[in-house]
Structure 1
Amino acid sequence: MARLSYMRIKYLFFSWLAIFIGSWVIYVRYNSYTELCRGHECKTTICDKYKKGIIDGSACESLCAKETLYFGKCLSTNPNNQMYLGVWGNLEGVIKCQMETTLHFDFGAEPEPRKEIVLFDKPTRGTTVQKFKEMVHGLVKTKLGDQGNLQELVNLILTAADGNKDGHVSLPEAKSAWALLQLNEFLLMVILRDKEHTPKLLGFCGDLYVTERVPYTSLYGVSLPWIIEIFLPMGLRKRMDQWFTPSWPRKAKIVIGLLEFVEDIFHGLYGNFLMCDVSAKNIGYNDKYDLKMVDMRKIVPEMSLIDYIKDKSCESDSDCVYGLDCSTTCDQSKKKCTAHVTQPNLAKVCLLVKDYLLRGTPPEIKEELEKQIYACIALKAATKNMEMEHSLILNNIKALLWKKISHTNDS
């Protein structure tokens, strides 16, 4: 009898403990979700400005009046940068919206947050089209430097800003365009508008914008229920990420696309852009295994980054880091960050795809592919012959992969 009573107490205790832990986990998860996913706040702010006639754009009427553009699944990874799957009539896209004021290259925080007090304050009423063109020209020159045909780029930006395609940029459209130009991803989408690996801009309203949807939103990895994620060891999680990937020829095709994207942003018409968050979740692909970038918000013009980081006070190299993957070194004699970026994009990309690509590699090319991948990872940005080595290694890897898959259906 005493044993039965003891077992009952033990059962009740563990049942209560399980309920308590489960409730706590659900509470924390709910709080985390509501903090992370603030799309309703973003929509309220944008539509309030639109209804007051402050902003306008190609997506405003659908978002705020007709309500044919609506927020779907939350994809946000940071409260300041909202990202949702969106449905716009019969189109599927991705809705992106900033939540605080734009702070360029703030090393202690997520880039491109926004504050209400300065939102959509430029250009002011009475600004002529010519004056607005000069404003845009000055901004892109600051971001990119005096290279390429900046006037042509300004004309492309004004064409994109003309949301209703009436051949005229109104003041509300200009305010939206100016806010969007503070965002690196928007500028990059305009510059790379004809490149196949860059998502297309579908529309905008203020600094909320809609891009084409990428069916597979991570280079690799498997989506698991959050309750399993909590208790899954990191080592096992990483191994599982590599298990659930396409066949090797398809992986090779995706990597070729990634290498082509690196070429697109390496010393192009408007200079070099740096990938400052090279992670699997920012890189996706479509049903034909063509690479598509999912999130380019941390791909920044090299000149902008260097202008900000040089002479920044530092104690060690760790103080000279932007995002996850862009860094320079700390000059210990001056206690200032240098202007020389440590790694080129190609080296960071090769490190990302090393395990992904080498798993299942055909034996006849595995040794040579390993050699090229490790040579790629060892690339340093400041070396004398870096550009020549960069081009040689990139072309060698592309040729090796393409030769192996060119005769297959996956190509």
Structure 2
Amino acid sequence: MIDTRSVDVELRWRASNLALSLASCAAVALAAALIDARWQLVVVAAPLVGVLVSLGWQRSTPAVRVYAEPGLVRCFEDEEVRLELWAEADDGSPVRLLVETPPGAALQVDRGPSGRLQIVASMPRWGRYPVRVRVTVAGRGGLLTGAAATTWVTAGEVFAFPVAPAQSTGLPRTELLDRLGTHLTRHVGRGVEYGGIRAYVPGDQLRTVNWPVSARRGSLHVTERLSERATDVVVLVDRHDQPPGPATDATERTMRGAVQVVQSALRNGDRAGVVALGGRTRWLGADIGRRQFYRVLDAILGAGDGHETTPGTLAPRAALPPGAVVVAFSTLLDTDFALALIDLCRRGHVVVAVDVLDGAPFEDLDDPLIARMWSMQRAFMYRDMRTIGVDVIGWSTDGTLDQVMGLVPRRRRRATARR
């Protein structure tokens, strides 16, 4: 079923070009009649004045509604999508639409046989692209022209999702949940990897008996296998306002890194969720499946209504299952986001913060001493965060995310998490 969005347009009315032309001609004729004392010119101006006077007898101004089908379009970068736009007036008057091209987007607008505007859009970069139109309609027999009060009316929206690299990102080396998955552990269980040989104990399954070893040793021995487990991965995205400069460029790495972690977790059979902090918090609980990937993309960009919103600066407890691994992407320039990481660590989660800031957040930095001082301050901040329990790793343009995640040290999950 195609989602059709409709928007009521608030119109502001003014005199049309026709009314201005009639008024100008009538005024010139009457002025000439008075100057030259020629009554014939009054006869010429009378029909024009009559048309203007009939303004009060004309039917009322129409109400206009703009339609978009579909109203919300989702796509990936450089993917072509199609949508239709049209407008209707309650009295059947023709409505003229002019489509605005969003910055950075490519739109091709054609008029279909039914009079609707058929738009083919392509977005080279991820983000939210509103589809806006300028609305004009004639009223009162063409003597008035109505235009939208806000100049541009948002009829639909196109959300372009980022394309993440296909590389699989590793998780922090920690104790995983006792749930069937694909991550190899050192625990003995039902897996496929060889774990060792031990003597047979009553209760062992016969299919685990290693008959060649048992024949050589003269007693029953079984083959142990290492278990493969799964975990819960929650991505934390920093949406706080950032200063101009390199901090704004880090948004690109934040988005692509978050998508890559979620994509890798779902591909490995783990449950994945997302929490976007900054302003009004958006979050989506951890789940599995292919549909969850698109739900996470919606939650990151704020598309649709399939996610939850809540006020506050901390991650909601309902968004993070007990024992979940948290991977945060941030420039670590906002104090509220750092406090949210510390709060998650105190709850017993394994927290890894990926610093996406490449360089100092200053424009036109020429003094090497300031750059050195900034580098030392960030190193001290890394040390302090590790002391609290939050591992911070830097991610710049020189390396890929899967290489950076391999530098995370091993941490054991706390035995009791404070909930």
Q: Normalised by the shorter chain, which TM-score bucket?
A: under 0.3
| Structure of larger gyration radius | 2
TM-score where L is the length of structure 1? 0.24
Bigger proportion of residues as strand? 2
TM-score where L is the length of structure 2? 0.24
Bigger proportion of residues as helix? 1
